């Protein structure tokens, strides 16, 4: 493991850090309350390359890797988890699926607009009837001439309100089980495709989460992503990579909560001295700092493995599970350190806590990560 960042990644991290501090932080409370993100922010993020960090330069992206993306996610989430979740769905799910499994023609057609921010991307796997058990999905794609007709519903889809490009996973060959699942590009405006209810959520509130409805939506053959029947395996590959991003998002939330707490503990006095001088508070801060750093090590290790082209999905599971769980814990401790103020919207730590909880659920819950990790550990023992 090498955790020294090269100069170009340090410059990227510092650039995103400054952007998030000036363009995001001052507005986060308002966006959380209003449950919205302004288009202007999306355009500004596109202008500095945040909507195509892993898209090759020939398609207008930055051609960077997973470590770079992790730095972006951490810096953005340190100020606003919802903005980071917007990026996670656009970059880590929609663009990632097209990059991993799309054809050259699909890359040429979709990636430049996704990188420039002209189009926003979303990714639909989860359904009203299944999330963790994604292989049980019921949305179907029926062959019709030179295309497919998609019918069904997708649930909890991030960016659905503003996306133009939706990667949708559907059952094309029901008799083949998971091997009968394929992925398609569905474009906003296609006949029969509509956006349903927007969820009123606990956290990540500036990021929209909606239902997608498909009623006999016709998509041409060229919109199928990857070979027929590869949709489920490709979705799992996308999730493996996406989990590293959610791990980094969690680290950002934990770090944000820690930094707010450090500052508060130095300025707030109780019993004649700063909170920071109380050993009980020091111990909490020590634990928080250790947990955040440990989570970052797991995330960077998993990201570097992906950048080396290794497929070590268990590293991604461990990073995501550990980072998301410590993020919730660190944020709860941050509220405790802030006392009564921590329970109000005057300080951002309660928002960080609400945002962090999602990271234990989305892109595979902690229980699902443990199942995958246990399976891997038991296989190693048996080998
Ligand atoms: C804000 C938000 C954004 C999202 N964005 C997207 C998106 O953009 N695209 C998308 O496709 N999906 C998205 N999702 C869906 C998300 O990935 C799912 O919610 C998640 O995978 C869990 O699925 P579920 O909600 O159906 O829970 P369920 O699968 O019903 O699980 C319920 C509970 O049971 C546990 N459980 C399930 N099976 C087992 C088992 N075998 N052993 C032990 N415990 C188990 C789970 O861990 C969980 O605690 C989003 C969700 C949210 C809340």
Atom number of ligand 1 nearest to Cα 364: 21
Atom number of ligand 1 nearest to Cα 160: 8
- What CATH superfamily is the domain 7-119? Acyl-CoA dehydrogenase/oxidase, N-terminal domain (1.10.540.10)
| Best of 129, 138, 156, 166 for a ligand 1 pocket test (most atoms within 8 Å of beta carbon) | 156
Characterize 117-133 residue by residue with b for buried, 16 or more Cβ atoms within 10 angstroms of its Cβ, and e for exposed.
Answer: bebbbbbbbbbeeebee
What per-residue confidence (pLDDT) applies to 10? 97
| Ligand 1 geometric centre to CA of 215 (Å) | 24
State the Cα–Cα distance between residues 202 and 212, nearest whole angstrom. 20
The pTM assigned to this predicted structure is 0.98
Atom number of ligand 1 nearest to Cα 133: 29
| Ligand 1 geometric centre to CA of 124 (Å) | 13
Sign of the four-CA dihedral 100, 106, 108, 112: negative
State the Cα–Cα distance between residues 167 and 183, nearest whole angstrom. 7
Please, is 39 exposed, middle or buried when counting C-beta atoms within 10 Å of its C-beta (0-12, 13-18, 19+)?
exposed
Q: Which sequence spans correspond to the domains of the chain?
A: 7-119, 122-229, 232-382
Under 8 Å between Cβ of 187 and 166: yes
Atom number of ligand 1 nearest to Cα 154: 11
| Ligand 1 geometric centre to CA of 367 (Å) | 10
For residue 58, give the nearest of 117, 114, 112, 133 by alpha carbon: 112
| Ligand 1 geometric centre to CA of 267 (Å) | 40
What per-residue confidence (pLDDT) applies to 201? 98
Alpha carbon of 363 to those of 236, 237, 281: distances in Å? 10, 12, 34
- What CATH superfamily is the domain 232-382? Butyryl-CoA Dehydrogenase, subunit A, domain 3 (1.20.140.10)
| Ligand 1 geometric centre to CA of 369 (Å) | 12
What per-residue confidence (pLDDT) applies to 313? 84
Q: Which two tokens stand for residue 65?
A: 């890797």
State the Cα–Cα distance between residues 175 and 68, nearest whole angstrom. 41
Q: Selecting from 2.40.110.10, 3.90.700.10, 1.10.940.10, 3.10.20.30, what CATH number does the domain 122-229 have?
A: 2.40.110.10
| Best of 86, 137, 361 for a ligand 1 pocket test (most atoms within 8 Å of beta carbon) | 361
| Ligand 1 geometric centre to CA of 58 (Å) | 35
Alpha carbon of 266 to those of 35, 210, 275, 343: distances in Å? 32, 42, 6, 19
State the Cα–Cα distance between residues 323 and 318, nearest whole angstrom. 8
What per-residue confidence (pLDDT) applies to 122? 99
Sign of the four-CA dihedral 357, 359, 361, 367: negative
363 counts as catalytic: yes
| Ligand 1 geometric centre to CA of 361 (Å) | 6
Q: What is the mean pLDDT of each run of 10 residues along the chain (383 residues)?
A: 84 98 98 98 98 98 98 98 98 98 98 98 98 97 98 98 98 97 98 98 98 98 98 97 98 98 98 97 98 98 96 91 98 98 98 98 98 93 80
Angle at which helix 313-342 crosses helix 279-307, to 10 degrees, equals 150
Under 8 Å between Cβ of 36 and 27: no
| Residue 330 C-alpha from the chain's centroid | 19
Under 8 Å between Cβ of 223 and 271: no
Reading phi first (left if > 0) and then psi (alpha if -120 to 50, else beta), residue 106 is in alpha
| Ligand 1 geometric centre to CA of 131 (Å) | 4
What per-residue confidence (pLDDT) applies to 1? 53
Ligand 1 neighbours, Cβ below 6 Å, are 89, 93, 123-126, 131-132, 156-158, 201, 204, 209, 358, 361-365, 367-368, 371
Atom number of ligand 1 nearest to Cα 203: 1
Backbone angles phi, psi at 368, to 5 degrees: -65, -40
| Best of 96, 131, 325 for a ligand 1 pocket test (most atoms within 8 Å of beta carbon) | 131
Same CATH topology for 7-119 and 122-229? no
What per-residue confidence (pLDDT) applies to 84? 99
- Largest Cα separation within the chain, whole Å, is 79
Atom number of ligand 1 nearest to Cα 132: 29
Catalytic residue (one of 74, 127, 350, 363)? 363
Residue whose Cα lies nearest atom 30 of ligand 1: it is: 131
- Three-state secondary structure of the chain: CCCCCCHHHHHHHHHHHHHHHHHHHHHHHHHHHHCCCCHHHHHHHHHCCCCCCCCCHHHCCCCCCHHHHHHHHHHHHHHCHHHHHHHHHHHHHHHHHHHHHCCHHHHHHHHHHHHHCCCCEEEECCECCECCCHHHCCCEEEEECCEEEEEEEEEEEECCCCCCEEEEEEECCHHHHHHHEEEEEEECCCCCEEEEEECCCCCCCCCCEEEEEEEEEEEEHHHEECCCCCHHHHHHHHHHHHHHHHHHHHHHHHHHHHHHHHHHHHHCEECCEEHHHCHHHHHHHHHHHHHHHHHHHHHHHHHHHHHCCCCCHHHHHHHHHHHHHHHHHHHHHHHHHHHHHHCCCCCCHHHHHHHHHHHCCCCCCHHHHHHHHHHHHHHHHHC
């Amino acid at each position: 493991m090498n955790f020294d960042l090269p100069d170009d990644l340090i410059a990227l991290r510092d650039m995103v850090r400054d952007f998030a501090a000036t363009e995001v932080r001052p507005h986060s409370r308002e966006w959380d309350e209003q449950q919205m993100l302004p288009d202007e922010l999306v355009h500004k993020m596109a202008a500095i390359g945040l909507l195509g960090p892993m898209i090759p330069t020939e398609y207008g992206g930055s051609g960077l890797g997973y470590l770079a993306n992790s730095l972006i996610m951490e810096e953005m989430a340190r100020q606003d988890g919802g903005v980071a979740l917007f990026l996670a769905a656009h970059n880590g799910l929609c663009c990632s699926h097209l990059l991993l499994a799309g054809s050259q023609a699909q890359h040429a057609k979709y990636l430049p607009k996704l990188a420039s921010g002209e189009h926003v991307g979303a990714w639909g796997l989860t359904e009203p009837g299944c999330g963790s058990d994604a292989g049980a999905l019921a949305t179907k794609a029926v062959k019709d001439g030179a295309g497919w007709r998609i019918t069904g519903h997708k649930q909890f889809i991030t960016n659905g309100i503003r996306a133009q490009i939706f990667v949708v996973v559907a059952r094309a060959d029901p008799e083949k089980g998971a091997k009968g699942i394929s992925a398609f590009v569905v474009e906003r405006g296609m006949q029969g495709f509509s956006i349903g209810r927007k969820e009123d959520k606990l956290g990540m509130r500036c990021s929209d989460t909606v239902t997608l409805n498909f009623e006999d939506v016709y998509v041409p053959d060229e919109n199928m992503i990857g070979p027929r029947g590869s949709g489920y395996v490709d979705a799992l590959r996308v999730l493996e990579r996406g989990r590293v991003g959610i791990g980094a998002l969690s680290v950002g939330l934990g770090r944000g909560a820690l930094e707010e707490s450090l500052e508060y503990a130095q300025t707030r006095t109780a019993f004649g001295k700063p909170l920071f001088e109380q050993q009980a508070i020091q111990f909490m801060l020590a634990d928080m700092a250790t947990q955040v750093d440990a989570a970052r090590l797991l995330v960077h290790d998993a990201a570097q493995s992906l950048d080396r082209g290794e497929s070590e999905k268990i590293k991604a599971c461990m990073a995501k599970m550990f980072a998301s769980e410590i993020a919730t814990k660190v944020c709860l401790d941050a509220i405790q350190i802030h006392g009564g103020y921590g329970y109000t919207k005057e300080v951002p730590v309660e928002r960080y806590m609400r945002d962090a909880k999602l990271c234990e659920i989305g892109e595979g819950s902690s229980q699902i990560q443990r199942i995958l990790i246990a399976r891997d550990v038991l296989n190693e023992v048996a080998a």
